[in-house]
Chains A and B, each alone.
Chain A
Amino acid sequence: MDGYFGSYLVVALLAGLGVAVVGGAFTAGRLLRAQRPTPEKLITYECGVDPVGEGWAQSYVRYYVFAYLYVVFAVDAVFLFPWATVFAAPGYGAVTLVEMFVFLGIIAVGLLYAWKKGVLTWV
């Protein structure tokens, strides 16, 4: 159990144990339970309510644009937070401030492009 590869053995053992527990529980359940299916029991379980309609449902593809725009700003924030904690520290100064605004400028270009292409208007 020691050495470089030995430490991976623990991971493998744990993974095997996990599979055994879950698999064992399901197998035991299958062996022990009574099996008397009726049509009602075989329909898809949906929180106790009878399911309505098909499994395939349409959703608005235009939402994906908003998802993209959200990701742009989420990534933006990921970089902004660590920057905000250090940019006032000694040694950083104006260069760091300008650098972040260059970055924000590039992000803003994305927004400008989206706006000009008419993405932001709701149809």
Chain B
Amino acid sequence: MPASVAQGVVQGVDLLAIAPPLWLALAAIAILIADPFLRRRRPLDYASLASVLVGLGFVVALAVGQDRRTFCVPPGLARGGPAPCSYVVDDFTLLFQGLVLLAAVVVLLMATPEVHASRLPPGEFHFLLLASVTGALTLAASRDLISLVVSLEVVSLPVFALTALRRYDGRASEAGLKMFLVSVVSTAVMLFGISLVYGVTGAVHLERIALVLADAAVPQTIEATVGPARPLVGAVGIMLVLAGFGFKVAAVPFHFWAPDTYQGAPLPVAAFLSVVSKAAGFAGLVLVLVVGFWPYGGAWGPLLAVIAAVTMSLGNLVALRQRHAVRLLAWSSIAQSGYMLAPLGAALTVAGGGAGGDAGAAPVLRDAAVFLDAAGATVAYVAIYAAMNLGAFAVVAAVARHRPRNNLEDYRGLARTNPLLGVALAFFLACLAGLPPGLAGLFAKIVVFRAAVSGSLSWLAIVMAINTAIGLYYYLAWAGLAFAGRRERDEVWRPVGVEDTPVPPTVGIAIGVAAAATIVISVAPELVLHVTPLAVAATG
């Protein structure tokens, strides 16, 4: 081996850049090892919470400094152009990492009483949760397909076990198994898609894939072997990758695992699934589409618009019929996925004036700037949704302690016996519906609507308007129940909070954190708006 090549073999790693996931991975291992040696389990709860807070500190420290990149291709092998990197810390990364860690704090606070009440093994619970958080942190920073898939799997694998951790409960095992099977299939589909994309581009780094897809730098070998079939194979590969992410974010027609899994899982895990897991899926989707696959926006844009419309319609219509609180939240979170997909689906028509159409005839795009606003809208919606939805789950967790059946009817009169809890529930539900008390939900809806309307995709905007009205009905009906009084036919009426133990302080703090986050975003929406991963790719 020549010395010059050997010099570049051992790469320096920017340890500060990877500090948040590295720290959490070490913390997860430490907690797993500490568990069997400890006699008392309570310290594990604190250690887990503290390690997430320290991770949050690292993210804040990184946010103060400038962008960082590491695990780059050595300049000698860059084939001309800038050397692409696998791990990039920019505003997009930091926003998602901060979001994931804050969500993890809320989930851990919710979990503290749950772990003991449901007799979950605490060491394993915290290890699995932190491992999944680690995956979500790396995912937001990944800028090549291999890192993306590996981190997506690191997010998913621990969650199967977390879902099925109540081993005495058949429903939990079913939920875990169902999610495992669906997720494995979706990963397989996605990997096949990735192999096709690699076949037509010869690259795994998203920036370089974009260059090749835009016909800017097609490698000789690929032109010689794949030749004219390149656009078709590339489009098929992209569709398969989309399908894989569709499972992760529970978009129709890949949504059917979500309600059963949410219902069977312990409540904090369901909250984790609907927020962290979904946010990770969207981070990956935005990265892949906006940094990597944007030249084929004409192919995936219209498809995404249709998926978005179907997802929000089906999610909302089925949510109308739900009587179980967690199932309602599950279907509503499917509907919310539709709203999050809408800007990406509408993006192309903003600039091209309807350049999309059928996939085959769509021209290859030349500029990624089209997707800047759309990506920003999706990211903002994900962040706002995370805060609101976590809050709703935290209230449900507080009520579920006394009402294991957890039907909507169990919330009747909640605001009379426990005003804080009732008002919090009404606040989060109103935000999810997109109503003013907290402006966050309203902002999210406006951002998405603007993306759809300015994209002259009026049919999508109309579908969204109808869906918002449907959403209003079931969110407000639930919120209204909390303030309702006794029904005439009820002989005995005992709303939650009468003769019950008070809400555990950690769950109270969890609700408070979620409410604070929602209010902060309401006051300063600029924190989450206009954050896109495109700082570099736009110049390419």
Interface positions of A (Cβ within 8 A of B): 3-5, 89-93, 95-96, 106, 109, 112-113, 116-117
A93 to B6 alpha-carbon distance, docked (Å): 11
User: Which A residues are in CB contact (< 8 Å) with B61?
Assistant: none
A89 to B1 alpha-carbon distance, docked (Å): 8
Tell me which of A90, A112, A117 contacts B6 (CB under 8 A): A90
Considering the complex, which residues of chain B in the window 4-53 have a beta carbon less than 8 Å from any beta carbon of chain A? Answer: 5-10, 29, 32-33, 36-37
Known: A4-B229, A5-B229, A113-B33. Is A93-B10 also a contact (CB below 8 A)?
Answer: yes
Whether the Cβ atoms of B226 and A4 lie closer than 8 Å is yes
User: Which B residues are in CB contact (< 8 Å) with A93?
Assistant: 10
How would residues 140 to 161 of chain B score, 1 for a CB under 8 Å from any chain A CB and 0 otherwise? 0000000000000000000000
User: Which B residues are in CB contact (< 8 Å) with A5?
Assistant: 229
Whether the Cβ atoms of B37 and A92 lie closer than 8 Å is no
Whether a CB of chain A sits under 8 angstroms from the CB of B3 is yes
Whether the Cβ atoms of A92 and B227 lie closer than 8 Å is no
Tell me the nearest residue of chain A to B227, going by C-beta. A4
Tell me the nearest residue of chain A to B8, going by C-beta. A91
List, sorted by A's number, 14 A–B pairs whose CB atoms are closer than 8 Å.
A3-B229, A4-B225, A4-B226, A5-B229, A89-B1, A90-B1, A90-B6, A91-B1, A91-B3, A91-B5, A109-B29, A112-B33, A113-B36, A117-B36
Whether a CB of chain A sits under 8 angstroms from the CB of B519 is no
Known: A3-B229, A4-B225, A4-B227. Is A96-B10 also a contact (CB below 8 A)?
Answer: yes
Whether the Cβ atoms of B1 and A116 lie closer than 8 Å is no
A65 to chain B, nearest CB (A): 15
A109 to B225 alpha-carbon distance, docked (Å): 47
A20 to chain B, nearest CB (A): 27
Whether a CB of chain A sits under 8 angstroms from the CB of B453 is no
Interface positions of B (Cβ within 8 A of A): 1, 3, 5-10, 29, 32-33, 36-37, 225-227, 229, 233
User: Which A residues are in CB contact (< 8 Å) with B8?
Assistant: 91
The majority secondary structure among interface residues of chain B is helix
Whether the Cβ atoms of B227 and A106 lie closer than 8 Å is no
Known: A91-B6, A106-B29, A109-B29. Is A116-B233 also a contact (CB below 8 A)?
Answer: no
Whether the Cβ atoms of A109 and B32 lie closer than 8 Å is yes
Tell me the nearest residue of chain B to A4, going by C-beta. B229
A93 to B5 alpha-carbon distance, docked (Å): 14
User: Which A residues are in CB contact (< 8 Å) with B7?
Assistant: 91
Tell me the nearest residue of chain B to A106, going by C-beta. B29
Whether the Cβ atoms of B37 and A89 lie closer than 8 Å is no
User: Which A residues are in CB contact (< 8 Å) with B32?
Assistant: 109, 113
Tell me which of B10, B36, B226, B229 contacts A116 (CB under 8 A): B36
Whether the Cβ atoms of A92 and B9 lie closer than 8 Å is yes
Closest 6 CB pairs of A and B: A91-B6, A116-B36, A4-B229, A91-B9, A95-B10, A90-B6
B25 to chain A, nearest CB (A): 9
Tell me the nearest residue of chain A to B26, going by C-beta. A106
A20 to B221 alpha-carbon distance, docked (Å): 36
B37 to chain A, nearest CB (A): 7
Tell me the nearest residue of chain B to A96, going by C-beta. B10
User: Which A residues are in CB contact (< 8 Å) with B1?
Assistant: 89-91
User: Which B residues are in CB contact (< 8 Å) with A112?
Assistant: 33
| Central interface residue in A89, A91, A93, A95, by most chain B CB within 10 Å | A91
